[in-house]
Structure 1
Amino acid sequence: MPKQTIVLPAIRIRQGNQHIFAFGVDGKRVHEFAAVSRVHRTDQTLAGYQRPEVLSHIRAIRRYLESDAALLPNAIVLAFDSRVEFRALDDDTSEVAYSTVGHLIIPMDPELADDEKPAWLVDGQQRSAAIRDADLEEFPVAAVGFIAKDEAEQRSQFILVNNTKPLPKGLIHELLPTTTAELPAAYARRRLPASVLNTLNFGVDGGEGPFTGRISTPTMANGYIRDNSVLKMIENSLYEGALYQYRNSEDGTGDIPSILMHLNFFWGAVEQVFPSAWRLPPTKSRLTHGAGIQSLGYVMDTLTEGVPAAELPGLGIEEVLIELREHCAWTEGTWDFGPDQVRRWNGIQNTPNDVRLLTSHLLRHVRASGVLAIRR
């Protein structure tokens, strides 16, 4: 049982078949019952959903709050669990059916760990941190809350609330697979690719593949291959290439085990043929650079489109890549793209034009070698 509660006057507003609660609360007390869950991983499981605090921004807000006539009109957003209760006033005289006056009853226990508190801060992390640290007795703020059935719904609301803000793309990519709500079309399109990327990066049931631990994300700080490069490669293939065969176009889901098998087989061959270049960061290797990842993704599509993952071992993909090796300059030398088109190894940039140039170069030599006959 909670050791105490905080009772706040509130207005319950009906939106469809759900409710939100508008209320005021002393910002100094928000952290007593609400946690800020910064995104992290426990083993291979994603936990939390907030971006890391930006200390310089917090300091700037704090200085403003400690000045005369400080005003924060924007509401913070809180996701409550089922322990939070709304009690309507018996004498409610509201003339509209969608709005009810009452009180929010929020349990508090100072002994609870952050992940056990009854509320999560969905939006307003830096404002609340600044209020917490400010040299002030109190600072009431406007707040809006909703009761979420689980953490997946909290993550969905976090993405939707921050949809118009410069939320780090890497954070969105890690959160998308664990969301359940309807999302904007651009996010919905990337939910399956993001699920595949995260599974590649963190392993399948403890197993490892060529991308395991190598993709840079908010929770994989030691990764050196940019997540957006891998995401583009996966997305291109799912919608227009070899991985299309595993995607359900009606609901946007896919056969993830088969997708992973397909990707791990091809990129495992890449790792075997170019071992040194695969282990270097993009500044030292154009293989792990955005241009290299995307271009070899198109090579994968050309060689394996329409071929089920189980049949890939019989195609001789590694032999194809070995023949291609003499035409690659991932870490040294020059790229020979034709007359007046010779570039240093690191002269390739992650631009649409250079990706097309490198892709055409690789596919030209794949086709010239006659290796496409392996698919006949």
Structure 2
Amino acid sequence: MNILKVPALRIKQGSNRYLYSAAINGKLISEIASISRIRRHDTLLDGYQRPEVSSHITEIKNYIDSENPLIPNAIVIAFDKTVTFESITDESDHGYLNIPYCNEQDIIPGFVVDGQQRSAALREAENSDFVMPVSAFIASSVEEQREQFMLVNSTKPLPKGLLFELAPHTSTRLSSSLQKKKFPYEILERLNFDSDSPFHGKINTPTNPDGVVKDNSILKMIESSLSDGALYRFRDPATGRGDIDKMVDLLVNYWLAVRDTWEDQWDKKPRDSRLLHGVGIMSLGALMDAISDRHYQHEIPSYDQFYEDLQKIVEYCKWDHGFWNFGQNDQRKWNDLQNTSKDIQLLLNYLVGRYLRSA
């Protein structure tokens, strides 16, 4: 095992946390720290980084190879416990970071928390003498690395879907906007990855890019029902969470009934049918709340109850052909409906109204 020994300044933060400031040759960073891109193994979330952006990396590489480059922003690295700090004296905050690298197990001790594109550009640059500022900390777990990644990047223009998908897998207190998404996205993940869910593998997320249903549409549908719909009755107001198993059971029963009611629409992409388009997801979510209210005494309506009630509106639905008849002089071609607040409200009022009049 090789040990990279670099001068470092130890900075105490909090009661027992330390940050280490160092300068490391840019070519060595890829040997001591990897980029953990977000992915899934079965249903388990792994990693936390976004994919590299090749055009941005090329721009940084060209700058590093220019005549007089200067990059003042430090790369942030989370090391595991194999990395140690060695003080010059017992009481000094000046010393050395001892970083193992290129060991026999090919285990890299660090992960890049912030600066993945800079580290990639340094790896590809011809300039072999460029020294990069590094801020490092020693993490106790992968979860801590993930939390630091979110805290560092929460004020930057990261894709919201990536932050939402990471949120359920952290225990730290996030910003209020992200905190509100944790539980709804946890429900979304159950719908996306539970094998008995009709949405199994169908919801498009950063780790499931082949999904055809936008995660934001499902998330809004869940949030609306949690706020004042069918899912609200299983919610714990004190924690903002609730009985997730019952919530998922209700959602699975309903959307299985939707799938079987419009079986020929279920596998169509949103551009070819409005059933799994944002406007369809939100309006059918409101209908789920209305049907659940009618069967309130059953707590969780069964698949059969949902399926029977959905038959009452089938003739009025024009998901992939024809015209919606919203009233006198108010007809809309099926693909004129868009994922806008106005169109969503128009369609959900129509579906719920038709259902209540036929119930």
State whether TM-score is above 0.5: yes
Change (3 A) 1:149 1:308: farther
What's the counterpart of residue 117 of structure 1?
108
Q: Which secondary structure does the structure 2 equivalent of 1:316 belong to?
A: helix
**Alpha-carbon deviation of 1:362?**
0.7
Asked if the contact 2:5/2:96 (under 8 Å) is kept, the reply is: yes
Q: Which secondary structure does the structure 2 equivalent of 1:146 belong to?
A: strand
**Alpha-carbon deviation of 1:85?**
1.1
Q: Which amino acid aligns with 1:104?
A: L
**Alpha-carbon deviation of 1:247?**
2.2
Does structure 1 residue 347 correspond to structure 2 residue 336?
Answer: yes
What's the counterpart of residue 284 of structure 1?
272
What's the counterpart of residue 213 of structure 1?
201
- Distance in 2, matches of 1:23 and 1:251, equals 42
Q: Which amino acid aligns with 1:137?
A: S
Deviations 1:261-297 (A, max 9, x none): 0110011110010112121111011111111111111
- Distance in 2, matches of 1:352 and 1:285, equals 19
Q: Which secondary structure does the structure 1 equivalent of 2:111 belong to?
A: strand
Does structure 1 residue 325 correspond to structure 2 residue 305?
Answer: no
Deviations 1:184-205 (A, max 9, x none): 01111110111111121111xx
- Distance in 2, matches of 1:341 and 1:152, equals 53
Q: Which amino acid aligns with 2:342?
A: N
**Alpha-carbon deviation of 1:365?**
0.3
**Alpha-carbon deviation of 1:314?**
8.0
Q: Show structure 1 runs of 5+ residues with no match.
A: 94-99, 372-376
Asked if the contact 2:322/2:333 (under 8 Å) is kept, the reply is: yes
Q: How many pairs are equivalent?
A: 357
Change (3 A) 1:91 1:85: closer
- Distance in 1, matches of 2:55 and 2:94, equals 39
**Alpha-carbon deviation of 1:208?**
2.3
Q: Which amino acid aligns with 2:44?
A: T
Q: Which amino acid aligns with 1:269?
A: A
What's the counterpart of residue 234 of structure 1?
222
What's the counterpart of residue 5 of structure 2?
7
**Match for 1:142 among 128, 133, 140?**
133
Identity of aligned residues (%): 43
Using the size of structure 2 for normalisation, the TM-score is 0.95
**Alpha-carbon deviation of 1:174?**
2.0
Asked if the contact 1:262/1:309 (under 8 Å) is kept, the reply is: no
The aligned runs of 1:33-112 (5 Å cut-off) are 33-90=32-89, 100-112=93-105
- Distance in 1, matches of 2:327 and 2:138, equals 62
What's the counterpart of residue 169 of structure 2?
178
Asked if the contact 2:7/2:97 (under 8 Å) is kept, the reply is: yes
**Alpha-carbon deviation of 1:310?**
5.9
- Distance in 2, matches of 1:308 and 1:235, equals 23
Does structure 1 residue 261 correspond to structure 2 residue 259?
Answer: no
Using the size of structure 1 for normalisation, the TM-score is 0.91
Q: Which secondary structure does the structure 1 equivalent of 2:156 belong to?
A: coil
What's the counterpart of residue 19 of structure 2?
20
Asked if the contact 1:36/1:50 (under 8 Å) is kept, the reply is: yes
What's the counterpart of residue 240 of structure 2?
252
- Distance in 2, matches of 1:81 and 1:251, equals 33
Q: Which secondary structure does the structure 2 equivalent of 1:278 belong to?
A: coil
**Alpha-carbon deviation of 1:112?**
3.8
Asked if the contact 2:256/2:303 (under 8 Å) is kept, the reply is: no
